[in-house]
Amino acid sequence: MNARMISFVFGTVFVAVGLLGFTPNPVVSIEGFFAVNTVHNLVHILTGITFIACAYRFPGNESTVVKIIGLVYFAVTALGFMTSGNMMLGIIHINEADRWLHLGLAIVIFVSGFVFSDKQPKLSNQQPA
């Protein structure tokens, strides 16, 4: 797996979670384990689209993009922990589970930018001897 693939994986998961937040479920909803509202869901979808778009737009630099998004999530984490109550910036519904999930995501995303290479696997038409 390389940085481009991990960017697609993160992007797909973020879009899926964002869409899941619009359906009634006990995990990701306004009353779920992870408290989200429409704006929070849209942020997840936008994050996912950013991961996927950057994998196409910046080929060979995907690990840098992943690191940058990881740093953004560290900022989101800090903002979430500094927020008193359940409304970050007055528009994004969060709870304690969201705060800790954002920290975990920030770490995993940022570290992934270092672990996964930008190098694309070479395809060979040569038959082994």
pTM: 0.85
Q: pLDDT digit string (tens) for 26-82?
A: 998 888 899 899 999 999 999 999 999 988 888 888 899 999 999 999 999 999 999
Q: Which two tokens stand for residue 60?
A: 């060979």
**Read out DSSP for 22-91?**
TS--SSEETTSSEE--HHHHHHHHHHHHHHHHHHHHSTT-HHHHHHHHHHHHHHHHHHHHH--SSEETTT
